[in-house]
Amino acid sequence: MTRGSAQRALAKLATSLRKSLRLEHSLSELEPDLAAKELIFRPPPLTSEMVATVKLISPQFHLRPTENSRDFWGRNQNGLCWGEYEALEPFLDRLGTPSRVLDLGPGLGRSTIFFKKIRGWETVPFHLYEGSGETTNYTKAGGRFDDSFCGNISALEHTLSYNEIVDFQIFDAPAMGSSLEGLPGEYDFIYSFFAIGFHWAIEHFIDEILAAMTDRALGAFTLHDRYTTLHSSVERLPHRIVEFRTSWPRQRRRRILLLAKSEGVLEGVSPASFGI
């Protein structure tokens, strides 16, 4: 076992122990430099309702309605955004300012908040595709279900408002028959972090995603570790795979699949690719 894998194993064990004992998380569980980054995403107060929503969306965390839990969750979410941004920044620079952005499975909106602020996209229209539910139907790089998108739209709206986000519209997935075809227009940037590509294999959505992309569009999708072979419907498209650092647990890296309709959107950039 390498030193890095040993550190990851110990961090995972410590986190599991905290969860089993129902202890609050500690900032020591986070990747130090990511946890210390400027707070672009600001966590709202963790009310009992908000704690329940986080538990629904991210059952791996054990939070309480306290300032300690709020600080941990906020810094984790913010640090995760910074880790993703480290990997995506060269491609976003190439893309320029998009005319419209689509966030698939935004959870509580951390990425929409981060991109609008860090890129100066405050007036760029963002469309957020999400659903509300009391249970989640999460898989690991698995199939697609009618209730695949099930968070808390009210809590999402509250978090966006708390961060003073404007020019966004939320689309209720169940009300649209869990189809992307009813979304208005096309998008220059479509992303899904820890949803499509992570819980549900991207090939189940690829036709609808491509139909929603402009010719110059960039797509970004977190891949689950179990996703070891690109489906032919995805592999035939111009794509890259980039690695990014997560804020929790420490010493952990994951992958983002980048898709485009044209190779020109991706060429000239040398991403840190690795085996798939």
CA-to-CA separations, 4 to 8, 168, 243, in angstroms, rounded: 6, 40, 16
Q: What is the pLDDT of residue 7?
A: 57
Instruction: Give me the residues of the chain with pLDDT under 50, please.
Output: none
Q: What is the pLDDT of residue 113?
A: 98
Q: What is the pLDDT of residue 135?
A: 82
Q: What is the pLDDT of residue 268?
A: 77
Domains of the chain, CATH where assigned: 3-265 (3.40.50.150)
Count the alpha carbons within 13 Å of 68 in the hemisphere toward its beta carbon: 9
Q: What is the pLDDT of residue 67?
A: 97
> How many Å is the Cα radius of gyration of the chain?
18
Q: What is the pLDDT of residue 100?
A: 98
Q: What is the pLDDT of residue 134?
A: 83
- State residue 64 phi and psi, 5-degree precision: -130, 160
Closest CA to 41 of 105, 101, 118, 95: 118
Q: What is the pLDDT of residue 122?
A: 97
Residues 70, 72, 75, 80, CA torsion sign: negative
Q: What is the pLDDT of residue 15?
A: 61
Q: What is the pLDDT of residue 229?
A: 92
- pLDDT over 70 percentage in the chain: 90
